């Protein structure tokens, strides 16, 4: 049983996240999409809302034999991965600028939990500039983000902004 976690803030999930999930499907039997509950950050969506949005968009992913689960966690990613008996942490790399941050996290996570490998997958070129923060910023300022985030996410952001 090859179980991985795909940790992140997912505030909100983007098509870049879905691209990484799709790419990791053939590699694992089970992937837990793990939403970080970070009280230090001021997210647009609560952890429950983010999990709900992911639950709404996952049926659009042709998951084949791989089981996709959604969970949230607080504290260390390495601890969560160990608690879930995962053997891998999946992370997406969009551009070389992601590498340094990701390398530091991977090495620290390896030190914390030497049995768990970080697996890096390269995002599709068309999502190489897509980040949750950029999507929020552009959307809030009235720019077009279709094709970069799922339609559900756009609808939830519109609801959020309109109160
Ligand atoms: O989507 P993000 O914000 O790039 O994801 C970052 C995340 C959640 C993977 C990272 O911040 C994280 O692992 N946070 C949990 C706390 C932790 O384990 N910190 C040490 C990482 S070496």
The residues annotated with a catalytic role in the active site are 17, 41, 94, 132
**Residue 8 in contact with residue 35, Cβ under 8 Å?**
yes
CA-nearest residue, atom 7 of ligand 1: 8
pLDDT at residue 79, rounded to an integer: 98
Residues having CB closer than 6 A to ligand 1 are 7-9, 36, 76-78, 105, 108-109
CB crowding 82-117: b at 16 or more within 10 Å, else e: eebebbbbbbbbbeeebeeebeebbeebeeebeebb
- Residue 41 above 90 pLDDT? no
**What's the mean per-residue pLDDT of the chain?**
96
Cα–Cα dist 112/97, whole Å: 24
Q: Count the residues in the chain.
A: 163
- Pick from 133, 131, 129: nearest CA to 141: 133
Q: How far is the CA of 71 from the centre of ligand 1 (A)?
A: 15
Q: Residue 117, SS3? A: strand
CA-nearest residue, atom 16 of ligand 1: 76
Cα–Cα dist 146/153, whole Å: 10
- Residue 94 above 90 pLDDT? yes
CA-nearest residue, atom 8 of ligand 1: 8
Q: What one-character DSSP code corresponds to residue 38?
A: -
- Residue 140 above 90 pLDDT? yes
pLDDT in tens, 19-40: 999 999 999 999 999 999 987 7
pLDDT in tens, 145-159: 999 999 999 999 999
């Amino acid at each position: 049983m090859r179980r991985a976690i795909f940790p992140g803030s997912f505030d909100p999930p983007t098509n870049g996240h879905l691209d990484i999930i799709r790419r990791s499907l053939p590699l694992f039997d089970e992937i837990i999409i793990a939403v970080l509950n970070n009280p230090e950050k001021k997210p647009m969506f609560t952890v429950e809302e983010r999990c709900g949005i992911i639950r709404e968009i996952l049926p659009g992913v042709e998951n084949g034999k791989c089981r996709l689960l959604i969970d949230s966690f607080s504290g260390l990613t390495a601890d969560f991965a160990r608690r879930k008996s995962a053997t891998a942490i999946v992370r997406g790399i969009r551009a070389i600028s992601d590498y340094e941050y990701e390398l530091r996290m991977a090495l620290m996570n390896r030190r914390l939990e030497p049995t768990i490998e970080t697996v890096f997958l390269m995002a599709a070129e068309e999502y190489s500039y897509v980040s949750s923060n950029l999507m929020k910023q552009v959307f809030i300022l009235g720019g077009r983000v279709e094709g970069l985030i799922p339609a559900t996410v756009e609808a939830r952001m519109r609801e959020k902004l309109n109160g």
